[in-house]
Structure 1
Amino acid sequence: MKTARRYQELTMKLRSWTKGKPGQKVKLVVIGQHVSDGWLAKLVTLFLLSILAYLYLQPMLYIITTMFKSVSDLIDPTVKWIPRTLYLDNFKQAWEGLRYPTTFVNTFVITIGCSLIQVFVCAFTGYGLAKFPFPGRGLITFLVLLTFLIPPQIIVIPLYMIYSKLGWLDSPLVFLVPALFGQGMKSALFIFIFRQFFKAQPASLEEAARLDGASSFRMFFRIMLPLASSACLVVFLFSFIWYWNMNYEAAMFLPKQYPTLAISLERMQDNLAGMSAQFVTVKGVDPVTEGMKMAGAFLIIFPPVLLYMIAQRWFVRGIERSGLVE
């Protein structure tokens, strides 16, 4: 209270001192009573944020402007950002080169299936590690986190041999079955997220549920899992993005009969007959196919961007509640 009263007294003195003095008023408006209060500090902050926004948005702006450029605009060095005309044939070529309907369905089945499985399995595992004391719980938690630190390239050859013997290659089973057993992509991170979330829940909830006769399974499905809806959304979106954009794993385990969008983007030029005969290389870039490639990249990134735009508010709220910002 004394500090607030002292601040008000100083503010009143400053106002009375600057009354009738235009120069002091301008200084107060530009610089402010504190350095961060004036318009100058706000303009500097806005300028720095604009630079950061441009650095993050520049790749997306390049994709959007390039996919509407014709070959003549791509070759012309005077055309930088704005094309002379909107050239829409790039989308048609990208649609055909990606084989978009087939590869979209393949990618969607793997992404949605694995994401939903990971939400449930990782939540179940995280709840067990957080709420059930048993011998070796710390060691199991350490081993789970260790799987997150091991690069996937180290175990790809043993996994390929196992999947080949089981006959799972070129099928979504190579991703669905590991996700079902808590070994999906980044599952260790998701287990840790749920573990931290359930660990932060008060023990009085469990005590009240046990007094009402609820079993451990019922307590998880009826109480804990609904409370973890924010963490479930965070895990689902992260899993969706990682499975949608995976390239290395899909190229190893889905080489022929079950291509995804990421694989088709690399093979798009080969899928279009006659495109390889039109190469005109300028500084390592093929301007004949650059617009088509950018259109294909846009078709691939548009679904996850749209999903994030829809779920952005709940995603940010879930990040705050899931323990990732602690």
Structure 2
Amino acid sequence: MSAQTATTPRGGRVAPTAGLGNPRNAQRKRAGRILLYAALVVGAIPTVVPFVWLIRSALMTDNQIFIAPPEWIPSPFAWTNFPEALTAQPFLAYFINTMVIEVVVVLGTVLTCSIAAFSFARLRWRGRNLVFGILLTSVMLPYAVTLIPTFVMWRELGALNTIAPLTVPAWFAGAGGGVFNVFLLRQFFLTIPFELDEAAYIDGASPWKVFWTIVLPLSRPALIVVTIFTFIGVWNDFLGPLLYLNDESKYTLALGLASFQSVYTAQWGYLMAASAAVIAPIIALFFFLQRYFIEGVTLTGIKN
């Protein structure tokens, strides 16, 4: 029999422990775990190979990159590709421009989207669900539909060739793709027990104080997720700077890398080195914050 009955020190019996200590069950679990890891490795190969190809090409000369059959380990390592590529164009200025936009957009997005989400999740006011539903419908509106009217608006305001079109929308929750952030934060705020708000209101706290002292400190994983999404979106944004920035001294990294590609098309080693340097901060950001990222996405939508 596979079921075993455990006994107490006084000779009594407790519920049978089916399958505990069975070598067959342990082997099945081990085999299932091995198959799961193997499937994950196979599924990760298509995403890892392009990145590995980028790194090895960044450390090779042009003659080594396209040799047949391909070599995966550079011999010798062309370390000079990185300093020569990053000094061929003013990538430091591009980096500073990008970080200025990043700071303004991340602060505006996190602040305004969290305030809007708090209103939709924790406050009661007439028409709240209707307004939230209308807000969500804007997600289905393609970006290309509003592209020309938005460009004309900024042109009439005289804001072309400035960072205003790239930063100001972030300070209005729901603008510039912030609807998803409002939805994500709202779902997370709903998981926080409402008893905390009620206790604070009894003590005389205002909604603004509840927001700053209770809801935000408990929502750190969700806020980090929004920060990561916003940071990556701004870092990889190419169309926005292409439309609104004309002066090369104001280029972002994405736009500067595109111009670098048009100038150094034949020098693939330099191009790969510059591309690897541009994506390195994104990888480092996710590596250090992946625990909060996974926690925030997992907890979103779980009630109490």
TM-score bracket for the superposition, by shorter chain length: 0.7 to 0.9
Change over 3 Å in CA distance of 1:132–1:245 after alignment to 2 = same
Partner of 1:23: none
Matched, 1:196 2:196: no
Task: Give how far 1:323 is off.
Answer: 3.0
Task: Give how far 1:198 is off.
Answer: 1.8
Task: Give how far 1:42 is off.
Answer: 4.1
Q: Quick one: distance in 1 between partners of 2:287 and 2:41?
A: 21
Contact 1:91 1:295 in 2 (8 A): yes
Letter in 1 for 2:259: R
Partner of 1:116: 107
Q: 2:277 aligns with which of 299, 305, 312?
A: 299
- 1:192-271 correspondence runs (5 A): 192-257=183-248, 258-271=250-263
Partner of 2:9: none
Partner of 1:53: 44
Partner of 1:21: none
Contact 1:185 1:239 in 2 (8 A): no
Task: Give how far 1:45 is off.
Answer: 3.0
Partner of 2:72: 81
The DSSP-based 3-state class of the residue aligned with 1:135 is: coil
CA offset digits 1:39-74 (Å, max 9, x no partner): 4x4443333222122222111101110101112212
Change over 3 Å in CA distance of 1:200–1:37 after alignment to 2 = closer
Matched, 1:156 2:157: no
- 1:275-290 correspondence runs (5 A): 275=264, 288-290=266-268
Contact 1:94 1:293 in 2 (8 A): yes
The DSSP-based 3-state class of the residue aligned with 1:84 is: coil
Change over 3 Å in CA distance of 1:146–1:37 after alignment to 2 = same
Change over 3 Å in CA distance of 1:157–1:89 after alignment to 2 = same
CA offset digits 1:243-263 (Å, max 9, x no partner): 111112221122434211111
Matched, 1:312 2:290: yes
Q: 2:128 aligns with which of 129, 137, 157?
A: 137
Q: Percent identity?
A: 26
Q: Quick one: distance in 2 between partners of 1:115 and 1:324?
A: 26
Pairwise CA RMSD: 2.5
Task: Give how far 1:135 is off.
Answer: 2.5
Matched, 1:36 2:28: yes
Q: Quick one: distance in 1 between partners of 2:4 and 2:241?
A: 61
Change over 3 Å in CA distance of 1:10–1:43 after alignment to 2 = closer
Contact 1:230 1:317 in 2 (8 A): yes
Q: Quick one: distance in 1 between partners of 2:28 and 2:88?
A: 53
Change over 3 Å in CA distance of 1:179–1:324 after alignment to 2 = farther
Letter in 2 for 1:124: I
**Higher mean C-alpha displacement, 210-219 vs 194-203:** 194-203
Structure 1 gaps of 5+ residues are 15-27, 277-287
Q: Quick one: distance in 2 between partners of 1:189 and 1:324?
A: 17
Task: Give how far 1:232 is off.
Answer: 0.9
Structure 2 gaps of 5+ residues are 6-14
Change over 3 Å in CA distance of 1:154–1:55 after alignment to 2 = same
User: What number of residue pairs does the alignment pair up?
Assistant: 292
CA offset digits 1:92-141 (Å, max 9, x no partner): 34213452101101111111220121111000000101122222222211
Letter in 2 for 1:37: K
